[in-house]
Structure 1
């Protein structure tokens, strides 16, 4: 054997997956941990077609005999099929399943697929001990912490104790390195994800992390920066660092240290954030944004206090609005958030409250807020999955079993709303969001457009909804080609140029696709074609140059004019 373990992150459709899923950070940390202890593991991520070729080459070719699979809600079925095929083709190989979905596996999964082992929770220590048992024969399988294996005689699963299975010193793990990649390539896209800590002290009733990983630990900021420097040195395309931690905003002193160091590196970054943090610590949020924080993601979930309380979110309508307003005011470029459709105690009334909140957020955070609606998903070992009746819900196990992707089709009903009703509500909610966005984008302000689309004059591509709506307006597309300081600053000796072509004047008003104008705005826009400099416009219309400047500034703020020297 050339190496001991192949760690695989396989999916049927790579295009539908988040960067967090494709980064395979957890598997790389397992590879790093066992490498430090004289075992070699390679990590590979890709689709099912490529996975089959990889397994034929690596397992069939005799390079390794153990395959470990990351299993999440969206790929667990694929993982099962791949393992079943693998055990049929190469019955002597050993297979391991880890990741969040491992907590939900039953004996039937092991029996149907032929899978050998699963690991609950964090994988580094259990995988190391399992390799000692399988490769060296120096350890008893019954002593491998957090290991799940079959008892075919009793037709049940044996679950080993989970004590001593958690790494307390996260710095000792190292970080993902190209040497552990089967292809030699690692994190070559414009966004690279990192983990700076583990665990979550919160207990949101629907969340896997809060239900299964309460032991909060942090890496040192020195270790985090070493990883960022490693990525930057090997990726010329890198634009953003994305911090995946659920608990990144827990420690004020640690955030400030991170901000100081990331600022020195001049790297833009994203993070997860809690509503209470953003609403209650504006000065710290200001420092984060000044250091390069470009996008923050919030778990908004609902506009209903009853639903939010059932989730254990410790937020409310006003706090969510205040947090998003704070982000907008302090100059962040993007805020993303989702609403859960069909969760705890959902009813037509709670949906209306969520709509009201969504509309308020879109109006107050024009240009930067990206909102999405998803269905409730019953994740393994969460309170809502274990006791849905306590949350006024019923989970349809057959729909959960045959769904294609998690959160993209309803798999539950509530006391007030059937599964079919939730489908209709989700369609209506999406249409509501589209209409609210279109309404908010009809009269764009320069400050909103630039905040959401640019950082220091460079396009960001962080807000697809706003970008699509803004650029569908021809005059805004033209305006964005003329953002130099000279073109945006009024000059009496230069020409005011409008950003739209087709106009008519009827009943004393100027009519165009960009709007309807009267008075001095009408006169200036009609002549804003490079014929008269601003000073001549003032003379022509019999007004002071200050009035022309004031009008220019008002039109410029609406992306309707710019200045030209020639």
Structure 2
């Protein structure tokens, strides 16, 4: 483009964009897009000034417009969810601005030359772009017309580019994030591709063979990025094949244990229930190396449905993993259930609900259950042959959907029935969680662990978000308890000597309390708090030491008081 100023081409500024439609707080905003972050690292190592941007559509357009006079190119990451949004944004930008626009991302796998007219980008590059994007932009800087591997052109076939040796590419860098502000979450990917072929999964339905990074390369990246961090971090292993190879996994776990001696971090991964049942001892090793949250594929409580999906795991496997994780003390285990999926009927929904409630009974306070509808992703078996799963696709391209409404029904259930089925499922799960809390079935150490993960690492699980956090007094209590790291203790943590000699401290402000629910003695204890031990308080209030201790236990369990060795 001859109209791009020479000053721009000396160190061309490139913005790599991952944007989704207008719903703030969606998961994509929380988890770094390592695709565009890795591409930014390659460009910056080769003379470009590249930044990676993630945000909703309106914010993305506003950011691009603010940078318009400096930009050499804007590169969009395109997946199944954001196709229409990306197409609309590019159409707008091409009408008003003159920088290059490049399109990449997983959705390009299914693009043809017809998409050149739909998206109107200057270039559509299919596949993993560490080499192709750099080559394409470099040619434009030099004013050359170079056909790069994976580029779609009129009457020109283009194969999707898969890379093998990741070690020769630059590692993603936090500082390449646009307007970077450090947050707890730090995303890491250890492999590309997938050996499984689940009927609903884009990766399994479309990817090349699994290509795994070495344990040494993964650990080297983690240490480099942790060394540049200024706060505790939550490592988020993005790939769903993290547990596939037990030999490599053991090496990574050993490395993580060593790194945790120097850096403050915890981590999450996805695990395959079939693998974990066969290698159950690894769960203990994973927890010992810092794993605090894991996701396993649950999908359905019906064995025949899981077989139809090709899950290679049964409801019995899932139950066993839940039992092991709870016994080993894993703070959080999450799983997702597909509502309105393969061969769904009222009976299968009832069986899945029954299964999930039983799992919750096995593990009070640990499970974080979510739900989705079927997304018919291109290249998957459900997209290509929905009839084999008893599914009728009403909107195969999901143009009417933001993952909040089904685009299919089954032979037995209509769209409204599937929506109601999901609502009843969520209500049943929610009521069970509330019942467990109200009956005191959730161990205090699990509640405290959830608050610790929230306050220190930004991890908020379902029990905390939907139950604990609604109690302002409880939040204040655990915030103080965790903030003071052992200088404050609850009644159950105290030795017998400490129960006599430590000072009673009031936690909630009086403005947070309904004084009508407290006895006069309890009000007096709170009023005199911060000055007296339990023995001194008993003398002050003229009650027996035994009666006061019973009252202090009750008040501690109601999150009203904590204890310290100091005034």
State the TM-score bracket (shorter-chain normalisation): 0.7 to 0.9
Change (3 A) 1:475 1:160: closer
Aligned to 2:104: 98
Indicate how the Cα distance of structure 1 residues 460 and 277 shifts in structure 2: closer, same or farther if over 3 A, else same: farther
Q: 1:203 to 1:56 in 2, by over 3 A?
A: same
Deviation at 1:140, TM superposition (A): 4.6
1:47: how far off? 3.5
Q: 176, 182, 196: which one pairs with 1:202? A: 196
Q: Distance in 2 between matches of 1:420 and 1:108?
A: 35
Contact conserved, 1:9 with 1:22, CA < 8 A, in 2? no
The correspondence for 1:146, drawn from 142, 147, 150, is 150
Report the Cα offset of residue 386 of structure 1.
1.2
* Residue 422 of structure 1, CA deviation: 0.9
Q: Provide, for residues 127-159 of structure 1, a one-character-per-residue CA deviation record: whole Å limited to 9, x for no partner.
A: 244345544466652xx32333345xxxxxx43
Instruction: Name the residue aligned to 1:519.
Output: none
Alignment of 1:338-417 (within 5 A): 338-397=336-395, 400-403=398-401, 405=402, 407-417=403-413
Q: What residue is the counterpart of 2:27 in the other structure?
A: 18
Distance 1:540 1:295, change over 3 A: closer
Distance (Å, rounded) in 2 between the aligned partners of 1:268 and 1:504: 40
CA distance in 2, matches of 1:451, 1:62: 47
Q: Do the aligned partners of residues 530 and 179 (structure 1) sit closer, same or farther apart at CA in structure 2, a change above 3 Å counting?
A: closer
Cα drift, residue 93 of structure 1: 4.4
| Contact kept? 1:146, 1:161, Cα under 8 Å | yes
| Alignment: residue pair count | 520
When you count strand as a share of all residues, which structure comes out higher?
A: 1
Select the residue among 155, 168, 174 that pairs with 2:170: 174
Q: CA deviation at 1:415?
A: 0.9
Q: Spell out, residue by residue over 1:439-472, the C-alpha distance to the aligned partner (whole angstroms, 9 max, x if none).
A: 1212223244234444699686432424542455
TM-score between both structures, scaled by the size of structure 2: 0.80
SS of the residue 2:334 aligns to: strand
2:217 corresponds to which residue?
A: 223
- Specify which of 434, 437, 441 is matched with residue 441 of structure 1: 437
| Whole-angstrom distance in 2 between the partners of 1:421 and 1:240 | 39
- Partner in structure 2 of residue 119 of structure 1: 125
Q: CA RMSD in A?
A: 3.9
**1:287 CA displacement:** 0.9
Report if aligned partners of 1:4, 1:135 keep a CA contact under 8 Å in 2: no
Aligned equivalents of 1:86 and 1:471: distance in 2? 43
**Which residue of structure 2 aligns with residue 71 of structure 1?**
78
User: Does 1:33 pair with 2:38?
Assistant: no
Change in 2 beyond 3 A, CA 1:49/1:492: closer
Alpha-carbon distance, 1:293 to partner: 0.5
Contact 2:22 2:58 in 1 (8 A): no
Tell me, which stretches of 5 or more residues in structure 2 are unaligned?
1-8, 508-512, 520-533
Structure 2 residue aligned with 1:489: 494
| Bigger shift: residues 251-260 or 196-205 | 251-260
- Give the SS at the match of 2:399: helix
Match of 1:508 in 2: none
2:327 is the counterpart of 1:329: yes
> Partner of 2:538 in structure 1?
531
SS of structure 1 residue aligned to 2:467:
helix
User: What is the deviation of 1:554?
Assistant: 12
Q: For the structure 1 residues 138 and 459, does the alpha-carbon distance in structure 2 shift closer, same or farther, using more than 3 Å as the test?
A: closer
Aligned to 1:427: 423
Measured against aligned partners, the alpha-carbon deviations of 1:407-438 in whole angstroms (never above 9, x if no partner) come to 32100111111112111111111111111111
Corresponding residue of 2:531: none
Q: How does 1:441-520 map to 2 (within 5 A)?
A: 441-444=437-440, 445-454=443-452, 461-466=459-464, 468-470=466-468, 472=470, 480=478, 484=488, 487=491, 488-491=493-496, 494=499
Spell out, residue by residue over 1:336-384, the C-alpha distance to the aligned partner (whole angstroms, 9 max, x if none). 1110111111111111121112111211121121101111101121111
Q: Is 446-455 or 185-194 further displaced after alignment?
A: 446-455
SS of the equivalent of 1:416 reads coil
- Quote the Cα distance in structure 2 between the aligned partners of 1:355 and 1:441: 19
Match of 1:9 in 2: 18
The answer to whether residue 145 in structure 2 is matched with residue 160 in structure 1 is no
Please give the alpha-carbon distance, in whole angstroms, between the structure 2 residues aligned to 1:74 and 1:466. Answer: 29
